[in-house]
Amino acid sequence: MTEWFFWGDKKFLDVYGNIYLRTNVEDWFNIVKTIAKEFVGDDYLDIGCGEGHTTKQILDRISKKYVCDLIEPDKKALEYAKKYLRFENNIGKSFVSSLKNFKSYKKYDTIFTSHTNYYWAENVNDYDEQLRKLLSLLKEDGKLLILTLPEDSHHYRIMLKDVYPRFVFAEYIINFYKKLGLNVEVKKFNMNMFVGDILNTNSTYELKNFYRFIHNTKKSPTSAEEKKFLQKIEQNIKNGYLNFKDELIIIKK
């Protein structure tokens, strides 16, 4: 499984927070509002809630009564999420668990996850198993909502090396569920991130931070890697922005 450095590392959390500030707010809230409109029923499961920020942004836009269970493998992140969400959102049970190890006590009307599918499995067979497991957690008339990146996302285009296997791309998930004969709908979004300042300043601090975020690593780039990374940004940037091109995959049985 690809290791995720965000939780439990204050220095890398600072990098993550800095990158989040680069995102186009209108793009992101368009995504959040669209996800919230897709929810059905009143029994929800958030897979990989982290510290609960995306969870809250979605649940705040659901006006009907609901209960939302949480899964998060990092205990500290989950504890923060529970405290963060408890006053304004109706949170049910919480589980310190990966998707693979999660043992459900019930099925759900809506299951959702935002950018966590990169960490579900080490190989394609295990990944397929997790995709099937999601279906087993879903009620017959429920919805599975997966927000992730397509192959042509600038996130992947500017990488110097393949950090994630191709089976985590949106296209793989879409084809997998279609082959099972399920109803699959895809909603495509712009997800712009401002990086113009990285090109217009002499400081390499922001470039190093951005490199670490894109490559999911604590290690800073070498001078040669910095130069090549900067070239890749220059090849893809438009009006100061890169477009990560989120896709919301909606699966129904």
In a domain, 141, yes or no: yes
In a domain, 63, yes or no: yes
Q: Is the pLDDT of residue 109 over 70?
A: yes
**pLDDT above 70 coverage of the chain, percent:** 91
Q: Which two tokens stand for residue 142?
A: 């429920």
In a domain, 94, yes or no: yes
Lowest mean pLDDT of 6-15, 133-142, 243-252, name the range.
6-15
In a domain, 217, yes or no: no
The sheet with strand 108-114 has its strands ordered as 91-95, 67-71, 43-47, 108-114, 138-148, 247-252, 183-188
Q: For the chain, what is the domain count?
A: 1
**Alpha-carbon gap, residue 253 to 69, rounded angstroms:** 21
pLDDT digits (tens, 9 = 90+) for 82-94: 999 999 999 999 9
Lowest mean pLDDT of 66-70, 205-209, 233-237, name the range.
205-209
Residue range 30-56: mean pLDDT, rounded: 96
In a domain, 216, yes or no: no
Confidence of residue 98 (pLDDT cuts 50, 70, 90): very high
CATH value at residue 114: 3.40.50.150
In a domain, 148, yes or no: yes
In a domain, 62, yes or no: yes
**Alpha-carbon gap, residue 34 to 58, rounded angstroms:** 9
In a domain, 184, yes or no: yes
Lowest mean pLDDT of 5-9, 97-101, 142-146, name the range.
5-9
Q: Residue 90's domain spans which residues? A: 25-193+244-252
